[in-house]
Amino acid sequence: MRAKGRRVRFRCPGAEGTRQGILTAREIVEIDEGPASSAAPVRDVAKYLLVVDVITFDGDHPEPWIRAAYYRELKDGRLIWGSQTTSTHACSEWARGLLPALQRAIATCQDTRKEMNA
């Protein structure tokens, strides 16, 4: 998981083709709960790890991009990349649109939780 400095490569949908670059930073956050549809208590099966990567792409990409994904760490210690797809955008896109949307969604969750406990 400590992949800073490694080359990364992935295919983009449509006609965008393949992008390659270098992983310049990685943040990892342990998540207490996995998917709500899980039949077994998640902690009994695996630990979920949110992974946020900063990637500097080769070519004509003037700014770094951020990729959000996750790993599952099984009880035997194996790590499995859990994201079939990732959310990968330029840093400016995260700051301008995605981060404010996440902040509003979190506020909605907090309001809903308060209403449920009232």
Q: In this structure, which amino acid lies at residue 73? A: E
pLDDT of residue 4 exceeding 70:
yes
Q: How far is CA 117 from CA 73, 110, 112, in A?
A: 33, 11, 9
What is the residue extent of each domain of the chain?
7-90
Q: Calculate what percentage of the chain has a pLDDT beyond 90.
A: 26
Give me the chain's average pLDDT, please: 83
Tokens (6 digits) for 59: 């070519």
What is the distance between the alpha carbons of residues 95 and 102, in angstroms, rounded to a whole number? Answer: 10
Give the residue with greater pLDDT, 93 vs 13. Answer: 93
- DSSP-derived 3-state class of residue 90: strand
Nearest by Cα to 50 from 86, 12, 94, 13 = 86
CA distance 26 to 14: 27
Alpha-carbon distance 85 to 96, whole Å?
22
Write down the H helix ranges in the chain.
Answer: 42-45, 91-93, 99-117
What is the predicted pLDDT for the residue at 36? Answer: 55
Which region, left, alpha or beta, applies to residue 11 given φ > 0 means left and ψ of -120 to 50 means alpha?
beta
Report pLDDT digits (tens) over 68-95.
Answer: 988 888 888 888 888 777 888 899 998 9
Q: Residue 43 has what pLDDT?
A: 57
In this prediction, residue 24 carries a pLDDT of: 94
For 16, which DSSP code? G
pLDDT digits (tens, 9 = 90+) for 40-69: 555 567 788 899 999 998 887 789 999 998
